[in-house]
Amino acid sequence: MAQRDLLRSSLGTGRDVTAKAQERLEAVLNDLAKAAQDQADQVQKITHEIVERSRKSYEKLLKSIDTEIRAQIANAGLATKADIRRLERKIEAIAASSGTPAPAKKATKKIAKKAASSARKTATSTSR
């Protein structure tokens, strides 16, 4: 009987030790899971910040390129659509006041294209 009591006592102690070990293991696993989730949250936040910074840099770059292209076009002295329209109106006004028929719009556009083309050639040759 003493042996049975000792065996029961040992089994009870073994179960207690096993239960405590299991509780400790579960606590460690919960801590690890929480730490992993915290790191995942940090990575997601950092990734979002990098993407946002990248988008802003890209927009700033596009704006700089646009500004530079517009400046180069303005410096090239090319005729704009507004310039061509203004010249067309002047030609029509001169033709109307002199009594001669105004040239057809196609002819005016051809003249404007030739002027723009020669302006580009001039700008290209002077920049070299």
**pLDDT in the model for residue 18:** 84
6 token code pair: 């000792």
Give the pLDDT band of residue 31 (cuts 50, 70, 90).
very high
* pLDDT confidence band for 57 (50 / 70 / 90): very high
